[in-house]
Amino acid sequence: MSTVTLHIGAFKTGTSFIQTVLMNSRSTLAELGVLWPGQDWGSIVQGVQGLRGRQKTPIDRWLQLVDEIDAWEGESALLSMEYLSLAKPDAIAAAIDSLSNHQVKIILTMRDIGRAIPAQWQESMQNGQTWSYLEYLSAVTDRRPRRLPAGQHFWLKQDPVKILRAWGQHVPAENLLLVTVPPQGSPSSSLWERFCSAAGLPPERFDATIRVNESLGADSAEVMRYVMTRAAEVDADVDTRKAMKKILAKQILSARKSAEPTLLLPSEHHAWAVKRGKRMVSQLNDLGPSVIGDLDDLVPRFPPPSGKPTANPSAAPVDELLAAAAFGLVGMSEEVARLGGLKGRNRKRRLDPD
């Protein structure tokens, strides 16, 4: 019986970084007897979506990954995909049942909600949501947040107790592992070392110097909110929305992050966040997963901010938003030209004279 380790998320906890290192190291993993299944990242996404019954993706896509795991002659397999943290009880049961020939371990990475809230909001702008940051905060901190769309959006993805309880119905407690994201200011290698400790990997065998910077600065996130609002008004199709996220946000606007204000949790919510973090730690202590790192890492800390922070991107000066929007327009135009989007169109037409 081999071991199958499922890294199930959570969102905005360094998952893109971890996944990129692993995908770039398939040969190293194989040398260690570890399988990274799937032909490419898309096959993993499709497999998990098939398991969850999402986007009309057949369960066969998941079973293809399982077949590859079953056929592996090494000691273990490792799969990382944060959509697994959203799996409902029937999908979790199906996943564990399909892997009944193996010992299944679950790894959940989590960060404190003081950093998770702004990170999750700016990511939601890339995924088509249009609520302002202050609206998002109001819903997340509401006494009954799950009755509100924005509150449900956050807590569905950032409630480690609920996620681990769901998977713990099918996996022994000793096989539930919680990796805490190190506090701000920790060495850049800390998260990777903690993940490797949970996954049973030697961290020194991998090139973890890669930096996956897919988050946005406050100005660009606010620009994406305007863009997605317009997309909703014109009922933009799925491919258009994907291009907005993958090209405009991830490839272009993310490059401006260091030049833009950093989005922070407003000071009036600090006491609430600390109280909620301590409550989360208490519940996790009762639940009893194996912890790599320190549960106190989930209690927010608020060191003096560096640079030019903001707690309300909607209040950004118009010229700053226009600078981000212009940067995005030029970048999109360059991408269209690079992809040859204008080839064969109006070849005889010339630019109007100045």
Domain ranges of the chain: 3-114+153-214+269-298
Q: What is the pLDDT of residue 342?
A: 56
CA atoms of 205 and 102, how far apart (whole Å): 25
Q: What is the pLDDT of residue 210?
A: 87
CA atoms of 97 and 140, how far apart (whole Å): 35
CA atoms 284, 141, 223, 258: torsion sign: negative
Topology adopted by domain 3-114+153-214+269-298: Rossmann fold (3.40.50)
pTM for this entry? 0.93
Q: Across the chain, how many H-helices and E-strands are there?
A: 14, 8
* Strand-pair partners of 110: 180
Each residue's pLDDT tens digit in the chain (354 positions)? Answer: 699 999 999 999 999 999 999 999 999 999 999 999 999 999 999 999 999 999 788 999 999 999 999 999 999 999 999 999 999 999 999 999 999 999 999 999 999 999 999 999 999 999 999 999 999 999 999 999 999 999 999 999 999 999 999 999 999 999 999 999 999 989 989 999 999 999 999 999 999 998 886 789 999 999 999 999 999 999 999 999 999 999 999 999 999 999 999 999 999 999 999 999 999 999 999 999 999 999 999 999 999 887 789 999 999 999 999 999 999 999 999 998 988 755 444 444 333 434
Which residue, 201, 185, 181, 156, is CA-closest to 293? 181
* Strand-pair partners of 263: 310
CA atoms of 47 and 105, how far apart (whole Å): 18
Q: What is the pLDDT of residue 349?
A: 38
| 124 neighbors 153 (Cβ within 8 angstroms) | yes
- Residue 351 CB neighbours (<10 A): 5
